[in-house]
């Protein structure tokens, strides 16, 4: 059994100041994929992480204090590959690949389009380019788990106010259609695979008491290739864990 967590920490140094190391020591996942690290490994007290038994690999953005992903694992990866080979995304530290035996884990931080049309266009191009990258990767590494902050709520059940957000980045028709195609292209949404009709969210705005009122969005996913989907044991959001505007997303899988 492997316990895999994905967590957008919205700045790992901020999360550490709110008890992230202590929580990690209690939770003890086999692998945790962090998004939006907003840091270099030299900015972080990694000795504390290593004391908990974790190996760690990082892929930080060129711009300081922005974006970035990191994967912490109790099992040694056979290979670590940074980036997806497209400079526009790689300079923002968005994709980190680790291979374990015959399966591959991608830790991803998809772009947000909330700042305007330019970044929304960047996001939509990323979705197309990422699809092509994964299709190529599948030929070499068909057993894939792709986790992270996708920055898209898929269906109306995945967002607290679907009508009010129908024109909001993260719930636009084109984004949702991409996610539908994604889950029809050989991947299972681990949470929906286990809980077809359950309402749980993974992100809440900092505004207007959204988290306390559970006015959230489910935008963090664990996509499991169909050839591994029968091995999913459980999946869900750890909504009680608060170091960020996101919560951790957890899956147990028998690999």
Residue 179: which pLDDT band, with cuts at 50, 70 and 90? very high
Contacts with 246 (C-beta within 8 Å, 6 or more apart), sequence order: 7, 8, 9, 10, 149, 202, 203, 220
129 is catalytic: no
Provide CB contacts within 8 A for 114, sequence distance 6+.
168, 169, 170
Q: Kindly state the average pLDDT of the residues 59-87.
A: 97
DSSP per-residue letters across 49-94: HHHTT-EEEEE--SSTTS--EEEEESS--SEEEES-S-HHHHTTT-
Q: In a 10 Å sphere around its CB, with 0-12 CB exposed, 13-18 middle and 19+ buried, how is residue 247 labelled? A: buried
Share of the chain above pLDDT 90, in %: 98
Q: What is the mean pLDDT of the chain?
A: 97
Mean pLDDT of 176-197: 98
Domains of the chain: 2-253 (3.60.10.10)
Residue carrying structure tokens 């901020």 = 14
Q: Write down the pLDDT at residue 137.
A: 98
| pLDDT number for residue 13 | 98
Q: What is the pLDDT of residue 10?
A: 98
Mean pLDDT of 36-54: 96
Query: E-assigned strands of 110-205?
Result: 144-149, 187-189, 203-204
pLDDT digit string (tens) for 119-163?
A: 999 999 999 999 999 999 999 999 999 999 999 999 999 999 999
Which among 149, 158, 189, 220 is annotated as catalytic?
149
pLDDT surpassing 90 at residue 96: yes
C-alpha 146 chain-centroid distance: 8
pLDDT at position 208 over 90: no
């Amino acid at each position: 059994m492997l316990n895999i967590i994905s967590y957008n920490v919205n700045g790992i140094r901020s999360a550490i100041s709110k008890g992230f190391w202590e929580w990690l020591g209690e939770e003890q996942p086999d692998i945790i994929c962090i998004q939006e690290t907003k840091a270099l490994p030299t900015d972080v007290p990694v000795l504390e992480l290593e004391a908990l038994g974790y190996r760690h690999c990082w892929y930080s953005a060129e711009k300081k204090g922005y974006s970035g992903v990191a994967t912490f694992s109790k099992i040694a990866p056979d290979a670590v590959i940074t980036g997806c080979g497209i400079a526009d995304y790689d300079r923002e530290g968005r994709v980190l690949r680790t291979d374990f035996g015959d399966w591959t884990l991608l830790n991803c931080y998809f772009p947000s389009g909330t700042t305007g049309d330019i970044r929304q266009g960047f996001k939509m191009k990323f979705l197309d380019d990422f699809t092509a990258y994964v299709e190529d990767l599948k030929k070499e590494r068909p057993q894939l788990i792709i986790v992270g902050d996708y920055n898209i709520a898929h269906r109306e059940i995945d967002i607290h106010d679907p009508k009010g957000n129908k024109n909001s980045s993260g719930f636009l028709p084109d984004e949702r259609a991409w996610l539908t195609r994604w889950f029809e292209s050989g991947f299972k949404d681990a949470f929906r695979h286990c809980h077809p009709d359950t309402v749980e969210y993974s992100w809440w705005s900092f505004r207007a008491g959204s988290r306390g009122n559970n006015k959230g969005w489910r935008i963090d996913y664990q996509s499991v290739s169909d050839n591994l989907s029968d091995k999913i044991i459980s999946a869900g959001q750890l909504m009680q864990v608060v170091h960020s505007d996101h919560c951790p997303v957890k899956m147990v899988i028998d690999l």
